[in-house]
Chains A and B, each alone.
Chain A
Amino acid sequence: MLAPVQDTSNETRLARARRLRDVEERRTRRFLLAPALLVIGIFGLFPLTISMLYSILTPGTYGGVTWKLSGEAYLQFLFERDIFDGSLSLSSTYLQIYGRSIGLALVATIGALILGFPTAYFIASKPREQRNIWLFLITLPFWTNLLIRTYAILLIIRDEGIINLGLMSVGVIETPLNILYTDGAVFIGLIYSYLPFMVLPLYASLEKLDFKLVEAAYDLYANRFQVLRRIIIPMAKPGIVAGCILVFIPGLGAYITPELLGGGKKLMIGNMIALQFGSSRNWPFGSAAALILMVVVMAALLIYVRNAGKQGAHHG
């Protein structure tokens, strides 16, 4: 009779201890999370709320906003008020700016993938001791500020820069190549700036690649292309997706690179938003444009998360 009673009391004691531990653990977790949450709350959500609010107000005469609700900022994105009679008509002006930015960011992402994949594969296939040196070299550019690195590119590709002077001195070209201040220059700048963001996640995936699988594929008479397509790329897919996201998103909002290398003749999203808070004196539209950009980025991320989920189910 006594034993079971003792058992239950033991059990309850155990359960209570467990519960206590859980509570404590939850408390510790909350405590450890608090600083991060606080930073995100203050420096992330708070400005975001202001942007949302400003985007539905009326622009003030000399910048700022007046407290009158208006949906004009969002209308302006898709429609244009006719200069003559004020009627609304569909306008592609801003869509074109977004389209150009998205296109350029996509091309830069693909370029970085094509350059970054062999690099990451090369590093992953090196002996373990050597990999860290190669990784260190990949991250080396981060030791210098992006603005300075972009200026360096400008000095290299300008009319009287190293490339043109070099090519002209060996007689390959007569007149300098027009590289600087074109979309091509922005493309070069974006690839250069964001290549490490592609290489690092690719490396993280490829490092885990079991080369025995590659050998097995060869044993089963797969050719090189089949090995790449059926074995290596599927295994590296999480890295490819992560790398593409990490290059595409900052590329989409890039400000310095198009400003310095693009020559300022065509607006990109980042520069267009900055313009609204400056001489255009239209803060609501600037806020709306920034939020629309954020929605585009979020959509890209959601697609990624969903893809990653499917990936897990497939291979898991």
Chain B
Amino acid sequence: MTRKRHRLTPVVVAMGLLAGSPVLAEGKLNIYNWGNYTSPELIEKFKAEYDVDVTLDGYDSNETMLAKVKEGGTGYDIVVPGDYMIKVMIGEGLLAEIKPNEMENFKNLDPKWVDVWWDPGRSYSVPWQWGTTSFTVDTAVYKGDINTLALLFEPPDELKGRINMLNDMNDVINAGLRYLGYERCNGNVEELKQVTELLLNAKQHWRTMDYSTIEKLTSGDVDLSQNWNGAAMRAREQRPTLQYAYPKEGFTGWMDNVAVLSDAPNMENAKLFVNFIMAPENAAMISNFARYANGIKGSEAFMDEAMLSAPEIVMPADAPTPDFVQPCPQETVDLYNKIWTRLKQ
């Protein structure tokens, strides 16, 4: 028996050390963000400034994140949902009302991002980054006017079979609705029927439907890809003839927002982080990493030169206003699902 106990001693000591080690730091913070989206510099700075241990975990879609968070007890403090998902999560009671609008750095927030439909007055969330979803074309392959969705749905010969669409139900169907001049979140079956026909007919000219747009464009697999503006900028840096389109029929705008889960184990550290990223120099770090705009006034002074003049970030004056699409009612989602399944059948 004694021998056994002796043999166990080192294990017990080690376990004690492991359990005790976090005490050395001021505390912990667990961030759950989109993959390859968080600036490592930002995390290092936060760690150093507040003496907090930060862990980072990644997801690839709003729905994946929601499914996990809904189960509860994830241990995450911070999540970064897209605009419509913020509204959904507030409705489901998953987010803590942390009142960022009473925080010290809230004054830096660009007023146009305060009264947003997904969180009016900003009681739950603050901007992380915002961008647009449109498409990128290789201007060496296609010389005509690129600012039209016709390139996706009735492509000219040189682009036929050279197109990648996002593998995303909403992005594809919304583009179709815009091209035909119909409302988003559309429950009108007659109009949806026309959209279905449009998509089914256009599909023969698409080569792929995939999220990895940068790789598809830079490898030469396609010459046109539906794209997000930051990804478009990163792709252009490797293939300079690419150009990001601002189609006259309209395009999607989106914002990812930092919010705190209502069952966050480290609530105080989470609030510190929310205030921290509203400082212009910190917001600039976020943008310099992922190449999207951030919505914090004064952050331009700390941003990379390349970003301040990038046509993907700085929209031309005559471009349509980005369309921030609200969550659709379940009946519409069901209809969209049917169209999507038929499209990929």
Contacts and interface: CB of A to CB of B under 8 A. Distances in A.
Given A281-B63, A281-B333, A264 B342 contact: no
Contact of B344 (A84, A267, A278, A281): A267
B337 interface: yes
Nearest to A84: B189
Secondary structure type dominating chain A contacts: loop
Interface stretch (B31-39, B133-141, B201-209, B229-237): B201-209
A252 B206 CA distance: 25
B170 interface: yes
**Interface range on chain B: under 10, 10 to 19, 20 to 34, or 35 or more?**
35 or more
Interface string A222-245: 000000000000000000000000
A279 B67 contact: no
A62 B208 contact: no
A80 B345 CA distance: 14
Nearest to B91: A62
Contact of B70 (A63, A94, A178, A265): A63
A75 B187 CA distance: 23
Interface string A172-200: 00000010110000000000000000000
A93 B343 CA distance: 10
Interface in A69-114: 80, 83-84, 93-94, 96-97
Contact of B341 (A63, A93, A158, A180): A93
B221 A279 contact: no
Interface in B57-99: 61, 63-64, 66-67, 70, 88, 92
Interface string A48-73: 00000000000001111000000000
B167 interface: yes
Give the 7 A-B residue pairs with the shortest CB-CB distance, closest first: A263-B208, A264-B209, A267-B344, A278-B63, A264-B167, A83-B189, A160-B220
B338 interface: yes
B170 A279 contact: yes
A280 interface: yes
A290 to B, nearest CB: 16
Contacts, number: 73
Contacts of B344: 264-267
Interface in A262-316: 263-267, 272, 277-282
B103 interface: no
Nearest to B342: A93
Contacts of B192: 83
Contacts of B61: 278-279
Interface of A: 61-64, 80, 83-84, 93-94, 96-97, 158-160, 178, 180-181, 263-267, 272, 277-282
Contacts of B333: 281
A159 B221 contact: yes
7 contacts: A62-B88, A80-B338, A97-B345, A159-B219, A180-B221, A263-B207, A282-B337
Interface in B181-220: 189, 192-193, 203, 206-210, 219-220
A263 B66 contact: no
A267 B66 contact: no
Contacts of B64: 278
Contacts of B337: 280, 282
Nearest to A283: B67
B168 interface: yes
A94 B61 CA distance: 24
Contacts of B340: 280
Q: Which of B67, B219, B344: most chain A CB closer than 10 A? A: B344
Contact of A158 (B66, B67, B193, B219): B219
A312 B318 CA distance: 78
B70 A181 contact: no
B168 to A, nearest CB: 7
Nearest to B208: A263
B310 interface: no
A264 B222 CA distance: 14
A158 B333 CA distance: 35
Contacts of B168: 279
Contacts of B167: 264
A184 B270 CA distance: 50
B220 A159 contact: yes
Given A266-B345, A279-B61, A64 B189 contact: no
B208 A181 contact: yes
B58 to A, nearest CB: 16
